[in-house]
A and B are shown apart, each in its own frame.
Chain A
Amino acid sequence: MYSATIYGIDGILVTVEADISDGLPSFDMVGVLSSEVKEAKERVRTALKNAGFRIPPKRVTVNLSPADLRKSGSGFDLPIAISILCALGLIPAESLKSRMFCGELGLDGRLCAVSGILPAAFAAREKELSGIAVPIDNLPEAQAVEGIQATGLRTLKEAVDWLNHPEQLGEQSTVPAAEKQEETEWDFCDIAGQAAVKRAAEIAAAGMHNLLCVGPPGTGKTMAAKRLPGILPLMDEAEMLEVTKIYSVRGLLDQGAPLMKKRPFRAPHHTISAAALTGGGSVPKPGEISLAHRGVLFLDELPEFSRTALESLRQPLEDRELTVARVRRVCHFPADFLFCAAMNPCKCGYYPDRSQCRCSDGSVRNYRGRISRPLLDRLDLIVEVPKLTYEEWKSGEQAESSAKIRARVEAACQIQRIRFRGMPIRFNSQMSGRQVKQFCPLGEKEEWFMEQIFQKMGMSPRHYDRILKVARTAADLEGEERIREEHLSEAVFYRSMAEKYWRGEEEYG
């Protein structure tokens, strides 16, 4: 009989077997167990007793194999209990063959939900097991995996009855999940004015480009970021499963809503440690970066994050995957997200408005300097979100709704989907250098324009590709086949800010 442990975000099959032999009464479990698995012993013994089964005063040995793999998670209670009952002859052995069991036992024998059911079910399907039995609360999650028979159980007693008489299965549904594909309450039409940041957000969403908003407090940086998931294209089935798997491992799934249908939006506080961001622990669990997979990772007050936390973003931003190495094993977490950050231009937040800001130039430079150059180089769009005057704020006509923006974004994504058919990428921002050459050809006029940009604006060549990618998205948003000068200039506009500004060179022009 099988169960599964989770490593990283993948389930690994674990065989559970029990033996009852003569000798002094004892209950031993072997197989490199973490403390929560070791404690299963007490839960199982009590649960068995309370469910009406007596463990004879004999020597009980439970083995979880492979023996060299560390097992963690609370899902082993059920398989251990069942294997003991099988050893006692209360359950026919053949009914357990090629079946997976996961579940935590309460002392009264009821089954409690556990995390990581989805990856376990995936592992079961991969190994071509015939079925998976889980606590009833986890059933919707297990059912999300097609091609494997999922059974939901309420108590240990029910499990035993079912294994003996497969036809007597209890009611197989929980409280019907309200099919809530609720419209997001964050809508771009709530933001008055701020055309620049809206435009930047649209480009960012259409091509999954990274975005940095700079501006004084209270101008709508956070508002804009929160509305980003609402204009991203809807996830397809495969993406939903990927995301759900990660949330399943962390036990963050909503009861009754087995699939994550909305793109995730993660906004960790700036006191977060690097390990919490990337994922960690001796058996690594996914961190905020992975939880934002296929969605938006929003870091508000970017300069306030610790240096190590910020630098840990560099690899995932580049590779769209995160590697956490531990002594025993190396884990790969998916980390394909839209990175959005917000920051104030200086400590007090009002620079360059000198009527409110009295920060010295040195302090302003110092504040900006907390964002390292390599991280800055990975940002595609940098946009200023200025303070609006009362008139500007008041006069703004009804702004565009997120739905309208999303329609344009969806269209641009459709173009990209066709462009990258048969390739492992979906968005313009993910193109490699070679693909940029292939998909972003420039005409003569545009080449000349880029040359001018580099000569006159002190742009560094390493941003060439980044600019082309953004320009490609800008063109896609208009359904244009070719990148034209207007697209390039817009991309340059959002990128060139970083060049002079960040080193404080504006002083001398």
Chain B
Amino acid sequence: MDDRLYWHWLCSMENLNPVKKTRLLRLYPSPEQLYNIEEKQLYALDFLTDREKKLFSDSRNEEKEFRKTYEQMERQGIRLITLSDQEYPNRLLHIYGPPCGLYVKGRLPAPREKSAALVGARGCSSYGRDMARRTGKELAAAGIQIISGMAAGIDGAAQWGALETGSSFAVLGCGVDRCYPVSNFPLYEKLEAEGGLLSEFPPGSKPLPWHFPQRNRLISGLSDLVVVIEARKRSGSLITAAYALDQGKDVFALPGPVTAPLSEGCNQLIKNGAGLLSSPEDILEILTPRWKKPLKKRKEIENGLVFNEKKVYSCLDYHARSLEELVEKTGLTVKETAQALVRLEIQGLARRAGLSRYTATTD
């Protein structure tokens, strides 16, 4: 049997946690040796539970099964990068419980380039979505690789933004041959072509709930810095932030109104000492020391507008404002406000973020 097949076998044992797998590898340096240990030796391993031992010996009887999946995997263009490979991301060697192998579709993050994780809630506000997209886009433009989880909401928005100007990588909670959530299929395809899809779970794995917290350690592990865009009080993104702190990485959080439940987690992080993200430049300053600050020219933009448009534009910000609010604030009629908004939209200065809700464009 091929050496890589033994690695695939080891990685396929989903129910054995990565920490224990590394301990096994310390005792038996190659998976081939591990595969061929005798029952007696196996039962002597005191850190494995009886259930795990049984699982281990059972999995060896399924040789045909994982041989088949391995061949299938090769046909689909999925690579397995193992701990013994040169390519294996250096960053992961330094985390607690590194995965034995990574299944990869597309590329791996370049080891010499900086990378940042952008994570957040699935059900997010338009403010969060905009900021995620904008942050992803600007960081990627500066050559920073964006790592995220390809989930709905913040993750997806950040990666769409990043792909506009640079590259992005997704660490999945299921096999890389699966697209979860299905609604992100366009993103999945784009990531495969212009970035990479990574997973420690073998192809065919389902997106089981316990996969995601485990996967989060890789998102932070692959990044130099973690940014939490929007998170409720109890959120998976906070798990990622906790991993980042364990791994000794910086954590940034986007502040939100104290009344917004979606920003509770972020504000809590800031309170506890996380960096406050007020613009993507905050991160660029840390990650790319030679970063020079270009100035935003809101005033200049305003000068080019006619009276009503200026009035409406001055009331727009990154929170979605409804037509009703704008009418109230500007004192214009519905007709005038609608006209100004449509004109601002044509000029690319306003963006519709809902039925009749508008935000200022973020770039």
Contacts and interface: CB of A to CB of B under 8 A. Distances in A.
A392 to B, nearest CB: 6
Contacts of B270: none
Contact of A345 (B325, B328, B355): B355
A214 B259 CA distance: 25
Interface stretch (A274-282, A379-387, A406-414): A379-387
Contacts of A125: none
A360 B352 contact: no
Contacts of A358: 123
Interface in B330-363: 333-336, 338-339, 341-343, 345-346, 348, 351-357
Contact of A392 (B126, B129, B160, B328): B328
A361 B152 contact: yes
B123 A354 contact: yes
A195 B351 contact: no
A198 B334 CA distance: 9
B122 A508 contact: no
Interface stretch (A258-266, A285-293, A334-342, A486-494): A486-494
B254 interface: no
Contact of B324 (A195, A357, A360): A195
A383 B334 CA distance: 12
Contact of A362 (B183, B325, B353, B356): B183
B106 interface: no
A352 B348 CA distance: 23
A452 interface: yes
A492 B324 contact: no
A459 B326 CA distance: 24
A509 interface: yes
Interface residues of B, number: 45
Interface in A414-454: 452-453
Nearest to A200: B334
A163 interface: no
B153 interface: yes
Contacts of A382: 355
Contact of B262 (A199, A354, A474): A354
A196 B327 contact: yes
Contact of A489 (B181, B261, B342): B342
Contact of B356 (A196, A357, A490, A507): A196
Contacts of A357: 123
Q: Interface residue tally of chain A, by bracket?
A: 35 or more
A490 B183 CA distance: 33
Most buried by A among B130, B260, B341, B356: B356
Given A195-B327, A352-B320, A457-B346, A361 B123 contact: yes
A361 B322 CA distance: 20
B183 A196 contact: no
A506 B125 CA distance: 11
25 contacts: A195-B334, A196-B324, A352-B125, A352-B353, A355-B259, A355-B260, A358-B123, A360-B123, A360-B152, A384-B323, A384-B356, A384-B357, A386-B356, A392-B324, A452-B346, A453-B342, A493-B342, A497-B355, A497-B356, A501-B354, A506-B126, A506-B354, A507-B156, A507-B160, A508-B133
Interface of A: 193-196, 198-199, 214, 345, 352, 354-355, 357-362, 365, 382-384, 386, 388, 392, 452-453, 456-457, 474, 485-486, 489-490, 492-494, 496-497, 500-501, 506-509
Given A196-B334, A506-B354, 15 more contacts: A196-B323, A352-B353, A361-B122, A362-B181, A365-B183, A384-B322, A386-B325, A386-B356, A456-B346, A486-B335, A489-B339, A490-B335, A490-B339, A496-B342, A501-B352
Closest 3 CB pairs of A and B: A493-B338, A384-B355, A384-B356
